[in-house]
Chains A and B, each alone.
Chain A
Amino acid sequence: MRFRFFQILACSVFLLVLALPTSEASAQQETVHIVSPSGPYTSLSAALEAAKPGDRIEVHGGVYDGPLLVDKSVELIGIDWPVIDGNSSGTVVMLGAPNTVFSGFVISNSGASLDEENSGIAGEAPNLVIENNRLEETLFGIYLREAEGSIIRGNYIQSKDLDLARRGDPIRVWYSDNVLIEANEVKKGRDVVLWYSEHLTVKDNTITGGRYGLHFMYCDDATITDNLLAYNSVGTFMMYSRRLQLIHNTIAYNHGPSGFGIGLKDMDDALVKDNLFLANRVGAHLDNSPREVDSLGTYEGNVFAYNDIGVNLMPSVRHNQFSSNSFLENQEHVDIGGGGMTKDNQWTVGEIGNFWSDYAGYDQAGDGIGDEEYSADRLFENLTSRHPILRLFIFSPSSQAVDFAAKAVPFVRPQPKLTDSQPLMAPVFPEQLPSLPEESNPLFVWISAGLVILASTAFLRGGGRLTKRVKNHPPSPGHPEVGIMPLIQIRNLTKRFKGTTVVDRLSLDIESGQAVALWGPNGAGKTTTLRCLIGLLPFDGQITVNDTDVRKQGKLVRKQVGFVPQELAFHDDLTVQETVHFYARLKGEASLQDQQFESILARVDLSGHEKKLVRELSGGLKQRLALAVALLADPIILVLDEPTSNLDVHARDDFLDLLLELKTSGMTFIFSSHRLEEIATLADRVLLLKNGKIIADCPPEELSDQTGWNVTLRVLLQKKDLKQALNTLSQHGFVASPNGKGIRVKVTPGHKGRPIRVLSEAGIQVEDFEIEQLNGS
Chain B
Amino acid sequence: MLDFNNIITITLKELQDARRNRWYLIYVLVFTGLSLALAWLGMTGLGDYGLAGFGRTAASIINIVLLVVPLMGLTLGAISLAGERERSTLLYLLAQPVTQLEVLLGKYIGLAIALFSALVLGFGISGILITLQGGSAEINIYLLMVLLAFMLALVCLSIGFLISSMVRKGSTAVSIALFTWLLLLVFGDLGLMGTSIVLNLGVDQLFTLTLLNPMQIFKIAAILNIRGSLEVLGPAGIYALRTYGPQLLPGLVAVLAAWTLVPMSLAYFSFRRTGAL
Would you give the shortest CB distance from B198 to chain A, in whole angstroms? 11
Q: Are B146 and A451 in contact (CB under 8 A)?
A: yes
Q: Are A440 and B136 in contact (CB under 8 A)?
A: yes
Whole-angstrom distance between the alpha carbons of A444 and B140 in the complex? 10
Q: Verify if B9 is at the interface (C-beta below 8 Å from A).
A: yes
Contact (A398, B185) CB under 8 Å given A392-B237, A463-B12, A463-B17: yes
Would you give the shortest CB distance from B86 to chain A, in whole angstroms? 10
1/0 per residue, CB under 8 A from B, across A444-460: the answer is 11011111111110111
Closest residue on chain B to residue A461 by CB atoms: B15
Would you give the shortest CB distance from A560 to chain B, in whole angstroms? 8
Q: Are B91 and A444 in contact (CB under 8 A)?
A: no
Would you give the shortest CB distance from A776 to chain B, in whole angstroms? 30
Q: Are A448 and B113 in contact (CB under 8 A)?
A: no
Contacts of A538 in B (CB 8 A): 273, 275
Q: Verify if A374 is at the interface (C-beta below 8 Å from B).
A: no
Partner of B13, one of A399, A433, A452, A463: A463
Partner of A388, one of B45, B146, B227, B234: B234
Extra A-B contacts (20), CB below 8 Å, given A383-B193, A396-B219, A443-B139: A255-B228, A279-B56, A391-B233, A392-B233, A397-B186, A397-B189, A448-B124, A452-B125, A452-B128, A455-B119, A455-B124, A458-B114, A462-B18, A463-B12, A463-B17, A554-B99, A555-B97, A569-B92, A582-B9, A590-B5
Whole-angstrom distance between the alpha carbons of A279 and B50 in the complex? 11
Q: Verify if A465 is at the interface (C-beta below 8 Å from B).
A: yes
Q: Are B189 and A563 in contact (CB under 8 A)?
A: no
Q: Verify if A166 is at the interface (C-beta below 8 Å from B).
A: no
Whole-angstrom distance between the alpha carbons of A4 and B276 in the complex? 124
Q: Are B16 and A462 in contact (CB under 8 A)?
A: yes
Contact (A444, B193) CB under 8 Å given A389-B203, A537-B275: no
Whole-angstrom distance between the alpha carbons of A107 and B231 in the complex? 37
Whole-angstrom distance between the alpha carbons of A435 and B231 in the complex? 25
Closest residue on chain A to residue B118 by CB atoms: A455
Contacts of B192 in A (CB 8 A): 393
Contact (A447, B236) CB under 8 Å given A459-B121, A536-B91: no
Would you give the shortest CB distance from A441 to chain B, in whole angstroms? 6
Q: Verify if A693 is at the interface (C-beta below 8 Å from B).
A: no
Interface residues of B in 223-270 (CB under 8 A from A): 223, 227-229, 231-238
Q: Verify if A534 is at the interface (C-beta below 8 Å from B).
A: yes
Q: Verify if A387 is at the interface (C-beta below 8 Å from B).
A: yes
Q: Are A565 and B88 in contact (CB under 8 A)?
A: yes
Q: Are A463 and B92 in contact (CB under 8 A)?
A: no
Residue from A306, A392, A534 whose CB has the most chain B CB atoms within 10 Å: A392
1/0 per residue, CB under 8 A from A, across B110-129: the answer is 10011011111101111110
Q: Verify if A769 is at the interface (C-beta below 8 Å from B).
A: no
Would you give the shortest CB distance from B24 to chain A, in whole angstroms? 10
Q: Are B127 and A331 in contact (CB under 8 A)?
A: no
Q: Verify if B142 is at the interface (C-beta below 8 Å from A).
A: yes
Q: Verify if A94 is at the interface (C-beta below 8 Å from B).
A: no
Closest residue on chain B to residue A258 by CB atoms: B231
Interface residues of A in 685-703 (CB under 8 A from B): none
Contacts of B6 in A (CB 8 A): 585-586
Closest residue on chain B to residue A256 by CB atoms: B231
Would you give the shortest CB distance from B197 to chain A, in whole angstroms? 6
Question: Which of B59-67, B74-82, B156-164, B168-176 lies on the face that meets chain A?
Answer: B59-67
Whole-angstrom distance between the alpha carbons of A394 and B231 in the complex? 11
Contact (A305, B50) CB under 8 Å given A439-B138, A590-B5: no
Q: Which residues of A contact B (CB under 8 A)?
A: 255-257, 259, 276, 278-279, 281, 303, 305-306, 308, 328, 331, 383-384, 387-399, 401-402, 427, 429, 433, 435-436, 438-441, 443-445, 447-456, 458-460, 462-466, 468, 470-471, 473, 531, 534, 536-538, 554-556, 558-559, 563, 565, 567, 569-571, 573, 582-583, 585-588, 590
Would you give the shortest CB distance from A359 to chain B, in whole angstroms? 15
Partner of A391, one of B128, B137, B237, B273: B237
Q: Are B189 and A396 in contact (CB under 8 A)?
A: yes
Contacts of B92 in A (CB 8 A): 563, 565, 569-570
Q: Are B5 and A398 in contact (CB under 8 A)?
A: no
Whole-angstrom distance between the alpha carbons of A360 and B177 in the complex? 34
CB within 8 Å: A-B pair count: 269
Contact (A458, B15) CB under 8 Å given A440-B131, A441-B137: yes
Q: Are B99 and A455 in contact (CB under 8 A)?
A: no
* 10 residue pairs A–B, Cβ–Cβ below 8 Å: A256-B229, A392-B210, A395-B62, A395-B63, A396-B66, A443-B139, A448-B130, A458-B114, A536-B91, A558-B97
1/0 per residue, CB under 8 A from A, across B37-70: the answer is 0000000011011110111100100110011000
Contacts of A441 in B (CB 8 A): 136-139
Q: Are A395 and B131 in contact (CB under 8 A)?
A: no
Would you give the shortest CB distance from B140 to chain A, in whole angstroms? 10
Contact (A464, B16) CB under 8 Å given A257-B231, A537-B277: yes
Q: Are B190 and A459 in contact (CB under 8 A)?
A: no
Contacts of B275 in A (CB 8 A): 536-538
Q: Are A394 and B233 in contact (CB under 8 A)?
A: yes
Closest residue on chain A to residue B191 by CB atoms: A398
Contacts of A401 in B (CB 8 A): 186, 190
Q: Are B276 and A429 in contact (CB under 8 A)?
A: no
Contacts of A429 in B (CB 8 A): 48-49
Contact (A433, B237) CB under 8 Å given A401-B186, A537-B277, A570-B92: no
Top-7 shortest CB links A-B:
A463-B16, A391-B234, A448-B127, A398-B189, A451-B124, A569-B88, A462-B15
Would you give the shortest CB distance from A355 to chain B, in whole angstroms? 12
Q: Verify if B144 is at the interface (C-beta below 8 Å from A).
A: no
Closest residue on chain B to residue A435 by CB atoms: B50
Contact (A395, B20) CB under 8 Å given A439-B53, A451-B127, A586-B96: no
Would you give the shortest CB distance from B148 to chain A, in whole angstroms? 13
Contacts of A463 in B (CB 8 A): 12-19, 110
Would you give the shortest CB distance from B169 to chain A, in whole angstroms? 15
Q: Are A534 and B215 in contact (CB under 8 A)?
A: no
Contacts of B227 in A (CB 8 A): 255
Q: Are A466 and B235 in contact (CB under 8 A)?
A: no
Q: Verify if B29 is at the interface (C-beta below 8 Å from A).
A: no
Contacts of B118 in A (CB 8 A): 455
Contacts of A573 in B (CB 8 A): 17, 20
Would you give the shortest CB distance from A472 to chain B, in whole angstroms? 9
Partner of B98, one of A257, A389, A531, A555: A555
Q: Are B236 and A389 in contact (CB under 8 A)?
A: yes
Q: Verify if B94 is at the interface (C-beta below 8 Å from A).
A: yes
Contacts of B116 in A (CB 8 A): 455, 458
Q: Are B12 and A569 in contact (CB under 8 A)?
A: no
Closest residue on chain A to residue B122 by CB atoms: A455
Contacts of B223 in A (CB 8 A): 395
Contacts of A586 in B (CB 8 A): 6, 9-10, 93, 96-98
Partner of A396, one of B28, B45, B48, B216: B216
Whole-angstrom distance between the alpha carbons of A439 and B53 in the complex? 9
Would you give the shortest CB distance from A571 to chain B, in whole angstroms? 6
Contact (A398, B193) CB under 8 Å given A444-B127, A448-B123, A448-B124: yes
Closest residue on chain A to residue B277 by CB atoms: A537
Whole-angstrom distance between the alpha carbons of A463 and B9 in the complex? 9
Partner of B3, one of A384, A402, A443, A473: A473
Contacts of A388 in B (CB 8 A): 234-235
Q: Are B9 and A390 in contact (CB under 8 A)?
A: no
Q: Are B12 and A462 in contact (CB under 8 A)?
A: yes
Q: Are B121 and A444 in contact (CB under 8 A)?
A: no
Contacts of A471 in B (CB 8 A): 5
Interface residues of B in 181-215 (CB under 8 A from A): 185-186, 188-190, 192-193, 196-197, 201, 203, 206-207, 210, 215
Whole-angstrom distance between the alpha carbons of A399 and B3 in the complex? 47
Contacts of B210 in A (CB 8 A): 392
Contacts of B55 in A (CB 8 A): 279
Contacts of B46 in A (CB 8 A): 305, 328
Would you give the shortest CB distance from A424 to chain B, in whole angstroms? 14
Contact (A466, B123) CB under 8 Å given A255-B231, A308-B232, A447-B142: no
